[in-house]
């Protein structure tokens, strides 16, 4: 019998690799005992990554969720681990050092044992502080090699990076094959190289199934000395998710390894719970395409964790593109056509922006940049015409050192826009901020929370936390769920309309009736008349816009004989006046200058700065923070 291989259930990543959301705290607490009962997991991924932002998005306190979710595993002796984005903490943008340090203290207090830290650029400078912060908090520091496949990312590149992390104090190494495009033999050589020099260092392998390499890779890394394997389970294994524990266990058992037995009755129980959660509302945000293996992913190398939200993004952007094409009398695109255009553009963009490993947030940055290029070019505009500030920070070196060189066209664009490249330590760009957030919470009379966990949450996710505290996040989420559920039932609604129009009503039989129906996601107002007259018909017309929902226009702000300048949204997303608490939002009456950032549109997890193209005075702010806006909606008016 060969040595023992242990399993970790990446429950958080299972959901976020499939769709947009994760289960509610009640659902998590419900499934935890059955996961424990399966008896085969040494570890469970309980939080980290986008987990806590997702809680906030549907109006749930993430600190409560983490405490309740980790508790049963802790009591059962199963280790819990979280995903930490290094310089970016739990979000898409960099985090001040004092917020990062508090992060580990809070998560350890909440019951998380292992911090799995990675840098999307594989810049060790961004990981090094997290090693010490984790140790100071009493956590195990597991550091990642973010795997991708390029001329730069060789076996030697990764083994040398692992050596450096171990020498800095990392307790464990994770081979983070986030897109599943690591080649099996190369991955085995990386693990072998680490184990030969540091045999006592545990190695955990994490891979996504999408491109089809993962099972072969698991066998290779185990033969080379890997200790832990991340697995998923039905109905959220395979596709953009992970290899199923049943397959992995059977394969390794046949290869002679000592692997844990699986309580199949409990497996089926967990499987049933997961399906129940999907049927509740989570399935509304899971694209069927994400449940399929797809060798097309080998080319762009996009990670499984990102593909979960990508299809939802494509739906919105496809609608925007096709509106423009319809206006121009051009053929519209299908989702598959847009997906292929996006994959091709990712392959074009990636080497030109320095081969950043395609993992959060840089996978989103590369994908967003590629998608914006596709959108702009499909609308007859130029490539590179919209680059978000966070993406510029990556290009300029503010987020870390890029593995490869920038293309001349990117350097030229930076020069034309007077952007300055940065070569120092990325953390230096983001000064401490906890005192500012403490003051804001004091002014709002918000408690700092047990172990300062509410302070941490506000400092990590300011905009989402404010939306959660106000109740807006929950209201928006519930409205979106209702909309999606209605969109899934057009046929049944139409049947109700037909039944209603097929016979006269007993009361007010000849009075017109009006109702709204949803047909394939499009709302229609239906006027129904009853009676025997052949001249009476049922008509369907698009609904009249609700005036109360429209942005208010203040007549006093419109000067006589002078036209207002309208600042419009460059894309669809959510409107924000600021992206961090350190910024001062504009207000009516403020004087602004050409080039000033006046607001943001958050789309695809990136804040896109909207700059004024004119000097002027703000006369109207048409939306409030968190409101959904469409492309070309008027955001700000000035004179």
First to last CA, the chain: 79
Claim to verify: residue 344 and residue 228 sit in the same structural domain: yes
Mean pLDDT calculated for residue range 520-540 = 40
Token pair belonging to 466: 């404010």
Q: Look at residue 313 in the predicted model and tell me its pLDDT.
A: 66
β 616-621/591-592 pair status = antiparallel
pLDDT single digits (tens) 369-417 = 988 898 888 878 889 988 888 899 999 999 999 999 999 999 999 998 8
Mean pLDDT calculated for residue range 602-630 = 86
Q: What are phi and psi of 19, to 5 degrees?
A: -155, -155
Claim to verify: residue 373 and residue 514 sit in the same structural domain: no
Cis amide linkage into residue 436, ω under 30° from 0:
no
pLDDT level of residue 538 (50, 70, 90 thresholds): very low
* Rounded Cα gap, residues 116 and 100, in angstroms: 14
230 vs 372, residue with greater confidence:
230
* Rounded Cα gap, residues 122 and 240, in angstroms: 23
Last residue of a domain, one of 544, 563, 586: 544
Q: Look at residue 309 in the predicted model and tell me its pLDDT.
A: 58
Q: Look at residue 455 in the predicted model and tell me its pLDDT.
A: 97
Q: Which of 290, 222, 365 is nearest to 16 (CA)?
A: 290
Question: Any residues with CB less than 8 A from the CB of 585 and at least 6 apart, and which?
Answer: 577, 578
Claim to verify: residue 360 and residue 241 sit in the same structural domain: yes
Question: Any residues with CB less than 8 A from the CB of 490 and at least 6 apart, and which?
Answer: 517, 518, 519, 520
Claim to verify: residue 463 and residue 604 sit in the same structural domain: no
pLDDT level of residue 2 (50, 70, 90 thresholds): confident
Tell whether the model's pLDDT for residue 512 goes beyond 80. no
Claim to verify: residue 396 and residue 409 sit in the same structural domain: yes
For residue 582, give its domain range: 550-638
Tell whether the model's pLDDT for residue 540 goes beyond 70. no
Mean pLDDT calculated for residue range 75-100 = 94
Q: Which of 476, 449, 576 is nearest to 59 (CA)?
A: 476
Claim to verify: residue 474 and residue 526 sit in the same structural domain: no
Last residue of a domain, one of 467, 485, 503: 485
Question: Largest alpha-carbon pair distance within the chain?
Answer: 90
Q: Look at residue 534 in the predicted model and tell me its pLDDT.
A: 36
Q: 239, 293 in Cβ contact below 8 A?
A: yes
User: Any idea of the CA torsion for 589, 593, 595, 597, to the nearest 10 degrees?
Assistant: -30
Coil, strand or helix: which one is 448? coil
pLDDT single digits (tens) 242-285 = 999 999 999 999 999 999 999 999 999 999 999 999 999 999 98
Which residue has 């044992």 as its token pair?
113
Question: Any residues with CB less than 8 A from the CB of 330 and at least 6 apart, and which?
Answer: none
Tell whether the model's pLDDT for residue 305 goes beyond 80. no
Q: Look at residue 516 in the predicted model and tell me its pLDDT.
A: 46
pLDDT level of residue 363 (50, 70, 90 thresholds): confident
**Residue 446 Cα distances to 85, 90, 103, 457, 470, angstroms:** 27, 22, 19, 12, 12
Q: Look at residue 518 in the predicted model and tell me its pLDDT.
A: 45
For residue 148, the 8-state DSSP code is -
Q: Which element (helix H / strand E) includes 467?
A: helix 462-470
Q: What is the domain-level CATH number for residue 579?
A: 2.40.50.100
pLDDT level of residue 43 (50, 70, 90 thresholds): very high
Claim to verify: residue 505 and residue 480 sit in the same structural domain: no
Q: Look at residue 368 in the predicted model and tell me its pLDDT.
A: 85
Mean pLDDT calculated for residue range 137-150 = 96
Average pLDDT, the chain: 85
pLDDT single digits (tens) 17-40 = 888 889 999 999 999 999 999 999
pLDDT level of residue 333 (50, 70, 90 thresholds): confident
Q: What is the domain-level CATH number for residue 454?
A: 3.20.20.70
Q: 569, 630 in Cβ contact below 8 A?
A: yes
Claim to verify: residue 529 and residue 599 sit in the same structural domain: no
Tell whether the model's pLDDT for residue 584 goes beyond 50. yes
Claim to verify: residue 479 and residue 530 sit in the same structural domain: no
CB count, 10 Å around CB of 577? 19
Of 241-245, 529-533, 539-543, which has the strongest mean pLDDT?
Answer: 241-245
**Residue 583 Cα distances to 393, 463, 513, angstroms:** 17, 12, 51
Coil, strand or helix: which one is 429? helix
For 139, half-sphere exposure in the C-beta direction (CA atoms, 13 angstrom radius) is 31
Token pair belonging to 574: 């959510």
Q: Look at residue 358 in the predicted model and tell me its pLDDT.
A: 80
For 514-555, the DSSP string reads EEEEEETTEEEEEEE--SS-TT---EEEPPPP-GGGSPP--G
pLDDT level of residue 306 (50, 70, 90 thresholds): low
Claim to verify: residue 289 and residue 351 sit in the same structural domain: yes
CB count, 10 Å around CB of 403? 17
Number of domains in the chain: 3
Which residue has 């096709």 as its token pair?
322
* Rounded Cα gap, residues 416 and 412, in angstroms: 6
Q: 14, 271 in Cβ contact below 8 A?
A: no
Last residue of a domain, one of 485, 506, 534: 485
Q: Phi/psi zone of residue 418: left (φ > 0), alpha (ψ -120 to 50 degrees), beta?
A: left
44 vs 16, residue with greater confidence:
44
pLDDT single digits (tens) 317-331 = 787 788 878 888 888
Claim to verify: residue 327 and residue 210 sit in the same structural domain: yes
Q: Which of 486, 543, 488, 555 is nearest to 514 (CA)?
A: 543
Claim to verify: residue 402 and residue 502 sit in the same structural domain: no
* Rounded Cα gap, residues 632 and 87, in angstroms: 34
* Rounded Cα gap, residues 481 and 421, in angstroms: 43
Q: 161, 124 in Cβ contact below 8 A?
A: yes
Tell whether the model's pLDDT for residue 574 goes beyond 60. yes
């Amino acid at each position: 019998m060969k040595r023992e291989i242990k399993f970790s259930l990446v429950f958080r990543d299972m959901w976020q690799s499939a769709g947009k959301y994760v289960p509610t705290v009640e659902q998590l607490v419900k499934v935890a005992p059955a996961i424990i009962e399966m008896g085969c997991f040494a570890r469970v991924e309980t939080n980290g990554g986008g987990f806590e932002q997702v809680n906030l998005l549907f109006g749930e306190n993430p600190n409560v969720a983490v405490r309740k979710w980790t508790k049963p595993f802790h009591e059962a002796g199963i280790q819990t681990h979280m995903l930490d984005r290094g310089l970016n903490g739990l979000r898409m943008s960099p985090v001040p050092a004092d917020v990062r340090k508090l992060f580990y203290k809070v998560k350890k207090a909440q019951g998380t044992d292992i911090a799995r830290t990675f840098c999307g650029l594989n810049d060790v400078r961004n990981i090094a502080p997290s090693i010490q912060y984790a140790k100071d908090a009493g956590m195990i520091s597991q550091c990642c090699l973010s795997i991708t496949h390029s001329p730069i990312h060789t076996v030697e590149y990764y083994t040398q990076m692992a050596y450096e992390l171990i020498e800095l104090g990392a307790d464990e190494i994770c081979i983070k094959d986030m897109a599943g495009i690591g080649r099996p033999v190369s991955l085995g050589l990386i693990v072998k190289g680490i184990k030969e020099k540091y045999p006592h260092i545990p190695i955990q392998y994490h891979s996504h199934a999408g491109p089809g390499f993962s099972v072969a890779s698991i066998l290779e890394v185990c033969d080379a000395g890997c200790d832990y394997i991340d697995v998923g389970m039905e109905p959220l294994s395979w596709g953009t998710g992970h290899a199923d524990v049943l397959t992995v266990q059977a394969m390794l058992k046949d290869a002679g390894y000592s692997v844990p037995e699986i309580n199949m009755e409990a497996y089926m129980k967990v499987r049933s719970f997961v399906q129940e959660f999907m049927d509740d509302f989570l399935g509304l945000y899971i694209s069927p395409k994400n449940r399929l293996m797809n060798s097309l992913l080998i080319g762009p190398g996009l990670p499984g964790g990102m593909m979960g939200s990508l299809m939802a993004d494509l739906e919105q952007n496809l609608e925007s593109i096709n509106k423009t094409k319809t206006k121009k009398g051009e053929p519209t695109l299908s989702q598959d056509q847009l997906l292929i255009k996006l994959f091709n553009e990712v392959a074009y963009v990636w080497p030109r922006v320095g081969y950043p490993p395609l993992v959060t947030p840089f996978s989103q940055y590369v994908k967003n940049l590629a998608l914006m290029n596709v959108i702009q070019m499909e609308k007859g505009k130029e490539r590179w015409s919209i680059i978000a500030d966070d993406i510029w920070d990556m290009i300029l070196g503010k987020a870390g050192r890029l593995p490869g060189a920038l293309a001349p066209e990117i350097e030229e664009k930076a020069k034309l826009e007077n952007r300055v490249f940065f070569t120092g330590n990325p953390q230096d760009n983001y000064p401490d901020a906890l005192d500012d957030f403490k003051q804001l919470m004091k002014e709002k009379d918000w408690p700092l929370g047990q172990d300062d966990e509410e302070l941490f949450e506000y400092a990590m996710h300011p905009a989402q936390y404010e939306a959660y505290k106000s109740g807006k996040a929950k209201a928006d989420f519930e409205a979106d769920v209702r909309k999606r559920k209605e969109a899934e039932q057009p046929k049944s609604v139409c049947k109700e309309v037909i039944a209603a129009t097929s016979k006269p009503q007993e009361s007010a039989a000849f009075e017109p009736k009006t109702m709204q129906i949803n047909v394939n996601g499009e709302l229609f107002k239906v006027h129904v008349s009853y009676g025997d007259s052949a001249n009476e018909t049922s008509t369907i017309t698009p609904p009249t816009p609700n005036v109360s929902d429209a942005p208010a226009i203040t007549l006093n702000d419109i000067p006589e004989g002078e036209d207002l300048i309208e600042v419009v949204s460059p894309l669809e997303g959510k409107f924000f006046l600021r992206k961090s608490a350190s910024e001062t939002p504009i207000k009516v009456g403020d004087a602004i200058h050409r080039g000033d950032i006046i607001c943001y549109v958050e789309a695809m997890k990136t804040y896109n700065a909207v700059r004024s193209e004119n000097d002027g005075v703000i006369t109207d702010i048409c939306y409030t923070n968190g409101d959904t806006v469409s492309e070309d909606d008027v955001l700000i008016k000035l004179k």
